[in-house]
A and B are shown apart, each in its own frame.
Chain A
């Protein structure tokens, strides 16, 4: 039944050690998003893919990268995690942008030691 799957649910990494979070979807949606959510804050859009077209938000640090090798999978790479990158990372998908419902995964909680 799971439509948007994120692995792992919890990730612990060390300061400066690269980490990759993964997201997969069974909905065959065109759009995949990565959000960063810190405690008591709004989900913050980092970037999204519309099919293979990558769209970065202007204020997303260069430390954050993403890959979408096929329709089903999308990865978030954090090249050198800092303490400030500890957060919940949410993946979402939608059929199209704008008016379409976004379907969210359960999130990956990242802890940086």
Chain B
């Protein structure tokens, strides 16, 4: 069974500083990987996804993530954060087989400090 681990429940960072949100997955097969963002009192919105091909994936709002198969990781990065990036970020995994259920991690709250 697939699973996702987000080790950091909260990450405080100063405005304009870089940030990395960590995600590790467990799956016995090849996977699809996603990052979603959830702003307060809103639903989730896709930031980026890895399906195949280039391991560096660029998303919206200046975010990018790198798929590392040997380390089973899919960390999210942004070189310079803004106040508006304050939100909760969810990593998710889906395997191509079966009915392709998407499993979400427990989320990381990014708090950008002015």
Q: Which residues of A are at the interface with B, using a C-beta cutoff of 8 A?
A: 4, 40-43, 45, 50, 55, 90, 92, 97-99, 101-102, 104-107
Contact between B106 and A99, CB atoms less than 8 A apart = no
A107 touching B43 in the complex, CB below 8 Å, given contacts A97-B100, A98-B32, A101-B49: yes
| Complex Cα–Cα for A101 and B101 (A) | 12
Is B46 part of the contact surface with A, judged by Cβ < 8 Å? yes
Contact between B90 and A99, CB atoms less than 8 A apart = no
Q: Which residue of B lies closest to A4 (CB)?
A: B43
| Set A40, A97, A104, A107: member contacting B107, Cβ < 8 A | A40
Query: Which 3 interchain pairs have the tightest Cβ spacing?
Result: A98-B100, A104-B43, A42-B104
Interface centre among A42, A55, A92, A101, by most B CB within 10 Å?
Answer: A42
B74 to chain A, nearest CB (A): 15
List A contacts of B106 (CB < 8 A). Answer: 40-42
Taking CB atoms and an 8 Å cut-off, the chain B residues in 75-114 that contact chain A are 90, 94-96, 99-107
Contact between B43 and A99, CB atoms less than 8 A apart = no
B90 to chain A, nearest CB (A): 7
Contact between A42 and B105, CB atoms less than 8 A apart = yes
Q: Which residues of B are at the interface with A, using a C-beta cutoff of 8 A?
A: 4, 9, 32, 34, 36, 41-46, 49, 51, 90, 94-96, 99-107
Contact between B99 and A99, CB atoms less than 8 A apart = no
| Complex Cα–Cα for A102 and B96 (A) | 15
| Set A42, A55, A99, A104: member contacting B96, Cβ < 8 A | A99
Contact between A99 and B94, CB atoms less than 8 A apart = yes
List A contacts of B103 (CB < 8 A). Answer: 42
A99 touching B100 in the complex, CB below 8 Å, given contacts A92-B43, A104-B43: yes
Contact between A98 and B96, CB atoms less than 8 A apart = yes
> Can you list 9 pairs linking A and B with CB atoms under 8 Å apart?
A42-B4, A42-B104, A42-B105, A97-B101, A98-B32, A99-B96, A102-B36, A102-B102, A105-B43
A95 to chain B, nearest CB (A): 12
A3 to chain B, nearest CB (A): 10
Contact between A90 and B43, CB atoms less than 8 A apart = yes
